[in-house]
Structure 1
Amino acid sequence: MDRLFSPSMAQSSSWSLIEGGSTAPSGFQAAGITAGLKESGKPDLALLLAPPGAVCAGTFTTSVVRAACVDLCVERLQTTGGQSRAVLINSGQANACTGDRGLIDSQRATQVLADRLGLPSDQVLICSTGVIGVPIPMQVLLSGLDPLVEALAVDGGSAAASAILTTDLVDKQIAVEAQIAGRTVRIGGMAKGSGMIHPDMATMLGYLTCDAGVPAEVWQAMVRRAVQRSFNAITVDGDTSTNDTFLAFAAGEPLPDDQFELVEQGVTLVAQHLARAIARDGEGATCLIEVLVEGAASEADALRMARTVCGSSLVKTAVHGRDPNWGRIVAAAGRSGVAFDAQSVSLWMGEHQLMENGQPLGSDRMAVSTYLRERASGRYLHDDVVVIHLLIGSGPGQGRAWGCDLSDQYVRINADYTT
């Protein structure tokens, strides 16, 4: 089983891992090339193409400082009722805070690509990622569109996943399949993100594909719930981007209404995998942190508390220092804005219980510290997840959030990012 495809995420045993990423579902094509947008010479231009009849659902940054490509995506999805066929992604320049030029360039890029693909321009979306305040070098991008279209392939998911990266150390992709209503249904996805991660919809971009037909309104509601339990449940550094976008495409033979719940389980599974991969690849991180909150009054309360604990700089630095300073955890829970009885709190780090009913236990600090050190013994191992478990009452609310430790490397990476 994949390191990030954890049992705690698997809402249904019907879904199993397969190869192929975003192009594993039938009818989808993708491409990724080096167009010359980055000085590094790494891949920097990607395209994802959905089959005819596709519907697209999107969630976006809630920041009032938004890149023009975000507004253009929102407008086109509203205008077409979710009818969309393609998304162009450039990395290297965020094209945010670039004035009128940002919108003009986004419109021009999508119009030229639409002409190449034989599509209406309002069915072509665009996403950008990179340094804020830097416009896209349009002649470079436009020169790359012909080779990009020529590179479209049913096995192009990996190339696309590499072309959307910025400070990421690894690409992030997944595909799963299940038997639904007598046929095979596949869901794939890819994402990028490593720093500026604290989504309210991180710098993150995410894309999901599904080869089952789902009505647009049902699909949008399904995707919105999945995002709340995945991308809105991760944090690296507490900073939300100007460009955060998640787009999910569904196209294929329609499924019976009574099978939508199973599809949503798969959508959530894929979204959570990608979200966890972003948190695990946090800039300078050595381990993934998973916070489980149970006993809250609602799922929303549980998610809010879990995300607050994950985002605490004191918790993150304690984990990095392999210090079982559990007081930082309960302090973060207390300021989360969630009402609970402090005398009802029980707390675990891994299998080690540190509190019970609001009272500290005589835990073996060395054993807990060893647990933390083991989880950071090497990057991308099956056991590199630090699990923090809070039981705060007897309510039905349960939620998980994911983050990473905070190291001096994070400061170095971001101090040098544009210079």
Structure 2
Amino acid sequence: MPVNLTAPDPASLFPVPGITLGIGSAGIKKPGRKDVLVMKLAAGSTVAGVFTKNRFCAAPVQLCREHLAQATPAALVVNTGNANAGTGLDGRERALKVCDALAQEMGVAREQILPFSTGVILEPLPHEKIVAALPQAVANLAPANWAEAAEAIMTTDVVSKAASKQVVIAGKTITITGIAKGAGMIHPNMATMLGYLACDAKLPQPLLQALVKHAADRSFNCITIDGDTSTNDSFMLIATGQSGLEITDAAGADYAVLRGAVTEVAQTLAQAIVRDGEGATKFMTVQVEGGRDETECKAVGYAIGRSPLVKTAFFASDPNLGRILAAIGYAGIDDLDVDQLDLYLDDVLVATRGGRNPAYREEDGQRVMNKAEILIRVVLNRGAVDATVWTCDFSYDYVKINADYRS
């Protein structure tokens, strides 16, 4: 079961003026399941995104990048159950047929449709099923469908993921609401599984692009479940402009407030993905302090967070904490002086100046390891930069889920 995570209360998700969402059932993998989402954007909306750096990126990722450069987006369409990745030219053609069908339904150009897919890789996209479900999704477009939308994009997720926040900027109430999906194949390298955030401020596209990258680098690019970067990772940020607040200056106080709020919602969604990691029983925060730069701090955080030996020890609640030191040692910091390093497990000082703390007792480590949420704190003592990575443990169920994924 997810670690301290439940499905969002639909009443807690604020509609974003300028966004309507519709859900359809195409039966891609399971008959009757909600597996198609359409998001319609108000005229004048701006859209920015970051995508997977996996060279085998999926056909919809390729098309989404192209369409963003060609036209002002009018709608997003998402399907689950099939990733349309590793499908070559045929995959692009099938994704374009979905774009064409939705464009015709909405009376816009195909380039104004942004397609997304998630699910099994290397299988042809059943575009006919998706096209057949589009009229249903368009017919139930509504501003308050965020909770249903979060359900419609799930794959191996146990619970849906959504978050919402309102903040007052320059006397205007700005609404930020987002959804995400992901539970496995999570080690984002620029984006995340799938994530969609919308706000009703108005920003020019270049400024919105800077904002989505800032938020991704502090949220979805700080999580790992299994060290696998997906072929379909996409994180999109939409600004509808319906609130009447316009922000054009990245150096201004208004932008800083909005950036902080967007990043907070993105972090909530990113952490929800880790809490719902396939088979997860523990949620771990890896806090690396005193580095020379963010790159080396994240390298240490990820080395710990994706180590199978570390993750299985945490699943067993076994304070075999030398595994953490080993991960730090192979993180790639060639001039790391381990004699300057301290390691904490929550409030317990485990190792100091590169060796076991003389006062450390295994029962203290065991007390922390028995908890569902644990802080791993690494102090490098070589600079003034910090970084945080969120991860989870590996349980028997992780293997079962992935062994049975296509069955």
Query: Partners of 2:248 and 2:404 in 1: how far apart?
Result: 52
Shift of 1:203: 7.6
Pairing 1:162–2:147 present: no
Query: Partners of 2:247 and 2:5 in 1: how far apart?
Result: 29
Query: What residue in structure 1 maps to residue 30 of structure 2?
Result: 39
Map residues 399-410 of structure 1 onto 2, 5 A cutoff: 399-410=387-398
Query: Partners of 1:202 and 1:418 in 2: how far apart?
Result: 25
Structure 2 unaligned spans of 5+: none
Q: Which amino acid aligns with 1:107?
A: L
**1:144/1:20 CA distance change after superposition, 3 Å:** farther
In structure 2, which of residues 105, 111, 121 is the aligned counterpart of residue 116 of structure 1?
Answer: 105
Query: What residue in structure 2 maps to residue 104 of structure 1?
Result: 93
Q: Which amino acid aligns with 2:51?
A: F
Query: What residue in structure 2 maps to residue 95 of structure 1?
Result: 84
Query: What residue in structure 2 maps to residue 397 of structure 1?
Result: 385
Maintained 8 Å contact 2:303/2:327? yes
Map residues 11-26 of structure 1 onto 2, 5 A cutoff: 19-21=11-13, 24-26=15-17
Give deviations 1:311-357, integer Å, cap 9, x for gaps.
Answer: 11111111111011221112111211134321111111111111223
Query: Partners of 2:338 and 2:276 in 1: how far apart?
Result: 33
Q: Which amino acid aligns with 2:327?
A: A
Map residues 249-288 of structure 1 onto 2, 5 A cutoff: 249-252=238-241, 253=244, 254-255=246-247, 257=249, 258=252, 259-288=254-283
Shift of 1:164: 0.4
Shift of 1:38: 2.1
Query: What residue in structure 2 maps to residue 349 of structure 1?
Result: 345
Give deviations 1:98-141, integer Å, cap 9, x for gaps.
Answer: 23221111111112111212222212101011111122222211
How many residues are treated as equivalent by the alignment? 395
Query: Partners of 2:323 and 2:75 in 1: how far apart?
Result: 45
Secondary structure in 2 aligned to 1:413? Answer: helix
In structure 1, which of residues 353, 356, 366 is the aligned counterpart of residue 363 of structure 2?
Answer: 366
Map residues 16-415 of structure 1 onto 2, 5 A cutoff: 19-21=11-13, 24-39=15-30, 41-80=32-71, 83-201=72-190, 204-252=193-241, 253=244, 254-255=246-247, 257=249, 258=252, 259-338=254-333, 339-361=335-357, 362-375=359-372, 385-415=373-403
CA RMSD, 1 decimal: 2.0
Give deviations 1:136-164, integer Å, cap 9, x for gaps.
Answer: 22221111111100111111111111010
Secondary structure in 1 aligned to 2:26? Answer: coil
**1:236/1:40 CA distance change after superposition, 3 Å:** farther
Maintained 8 Å contact 1:19/1:175? no
Secondary structure in 2 aligned to 1:238? Answer: coil
Query: Partners of 1:336 and 1:408 in 2: how far apart?
Result: 26
Secondary structure in 2 aligned to 1:374? Answer: coil
221-230 vs 37-46, greater mean Cα deviation: 37-46
Query: Partners of 2:108 and 2:237 in 1: how far apart?
Result: 19
Give deviations 1:33-88, integer Å, cap 9, x for gaps.
Answer: 322222253211111222211111111111111111000001111223xx323110
Shift of 1:20: 4.9
Sequence identity percentage? 39
Q: TM-score, normalised by structure 1?
A: 0.90
Maintained 8 Å contact 2:341/2:354? yes
Q: TM-score, normalised by structure 2?
A: 0.92
Structure 1 unaligned spans of 5+: 6-16, 376-384
Query: Partners of 2:10 and 2:87 in 1: how far apart?
Result: 41
Shift of 1:283: 0.7
Shift of 1:416: 1.2
Shift of 1:366: 1.8
Maintained 8 Å contact 1:202/1:241? no
Query: Partners of 2:299 and 2:10 in 1: how far apart?
Result: 32
Query: Partners of 1:63 and 1:25 in 2: how far apart?
Result: 32
**1:18/1:210 CA distance change after superposition, 3 Å:** farther
Secondary structure in 2 aligned to 1:291? Answer: strand
**1:245/1:256 CA distance change after superposition, 3 Å:** closer
Secondary structure in 1 aligned to 2:231? Answer: coil
Q: Which amino acid aligns with 1:103?
A: R
Maintained 8 Å contact 1:60/1:201? yes
Query: Partners of 1:230 and 1:34 in 2: how far apart?
Result: 31
Secondary structure in 1 aligned to 2:38? Answer: strand
Q: Which amino acid aligns with 2:35?
A: D
